[in-house]
Amino acid sequence: MNVNRYVFLFAALAVAWGTAFTAIEIGLESLPPILFAALRFDVAAVVFAGIVLAMGLEWRPRTNADWIAIGVGGGLLVGAHFALLFLGQSYVSSAVSAIVMSLIPILTPPLALAVLPRARVRAPAVLGLVVGLAGIVAIATAGGSLDGQALGIGLLLAAALSFAVGSVILERTERTLSTMSLQAWAMAVGAVLLHALSLAHPGEHIASVSAATPATVGAIAYLGLVSTAGGFLLYFALLERVGATEASLINYAAPVVAVVVGWVVLGEAVTLTTIVGFALILVGFALCKIDTLWKTAGPVVGYGPSRPPVSGVVPADPCAENGVVVDGDGNVFVAVPSADTRCGTPAAD
């Protein structure tokens, strides 16, 4: 693809997802965390439902696998993940939140080994997990305190784990819904679940909405329209053109944007230890992806540009399973398998 177009898509996506953490920080000043997350997905679900209808896509679940995928998407990848993410960020800075979320691709391989019977995890991926966790420990101690900072990072780590577990389970489903339709369902179900969790949480009340400031309303709109709906559309366009390996680098560009914007807009301080922690996570990711990164210049055996393997996981039969793609803001989608000559059908250009 045109290099300038690639750079534009990548930069726009990094901004859309990186600034999401700043918007979360702004909204948390006047709204309780889980309710704030629910309102974000109210907006995003309406937008994605409109896109699905406008495109004329099939939206009705037809198989049990479709319903399972919707349940996993709405329950783990939206509901649990974003409840924990917003709760965790209420204790730490937007920069720390973004950096901890970049651990998600590193957590996936060992979970896939436990759940996917035919997957195997290479030694570098295990080492990558250890290095990545060392980065989290460094970030947790960056503020010189293990009270609120550690609690927040613990919640964020649970959010990352929720997403990783959900993505691996989703890997096993053979759903018939399109990616866009599945996203619309996941956002809608997740929004309902988040509202239910907010109502059940003793520290949250729906009346808190009356305290929302114009900045908070703007943050909700920005998260729903730009970071979620717009971010996904940009990611789909990027993935289609450059493939999963290069697109996955957005996981580490978005936190850089979050750190810079958090410093400029919110005046957040970034310590050297935090930077070192992020560097360790980046090294961990590189170890998990070492085989794929090495082959980026050429085709990855068994996978077309729109069909990535789970990070660090090598299926025994690359023609048998769909791929799960991880983004930098705690979102997921299942890539549609590409037509591959090695899978019995002509490969698409």
The residues spanned by each domain of the chain are 3-343
DSSP-assigned states of every residue in 66-111:
HHHHHHHIIIIIIIIHHHHHHHHHTTS-HHHHHHHHTTHHHHHHHH
pLDDT 10s digits, 189-223: 999 999 999 999 988 888 888 888 999 999 999 99
Which parts of the chain fold into alpha helices (H)? 3-27, 33-55, 64-72, 81-89, 94-101, 104-115, 123-140, 148-171, 179-200, 214-221, 231-242, 244-248, 250-266, 272-288, 290-294
Q: Return all residues near 200 (Cβ < 8 A) that are at least 6 apart.
A: none
Tokens of 286: 């590189």
**CA 11: distance to chain centroid?**
17
Cα separation, 39 vs 45, in Å, equals: 10
Name which of 91, 107, 116 is nearest 158 in CA terms.
107
Residues β-bridged to residue 326: 332
Per-residue pLDDT of the chain (349 residues; tens, 9 = 90+): 566 777 888 889 989 999 999 999 999 999 999 999 999 999 999 999 999 999 999 999 999 999 999 999 999 999 999 999 999 999 998 888 988 888 887 777 677 766 665 555 566 767 777 787 787 777 766 654 455 678 898 999 999 999 888 888 887 788 888 888 999 999 999 999 999 999 999 888 888 888 889 999 999 999 999 999 898 888 878 877 776 656 667 777 888 888 889 989 998 877 788 788 888 877 877 776 666 555 544 443 333 333 344 444 433 334 333 344 444 444 444 333 333 333 333 333 4
Q: Global pTM? A: 0.76
- Tokens 């319903």 correspond to 67
pLDDT 10s digits, 296-305: 444 433 333 3
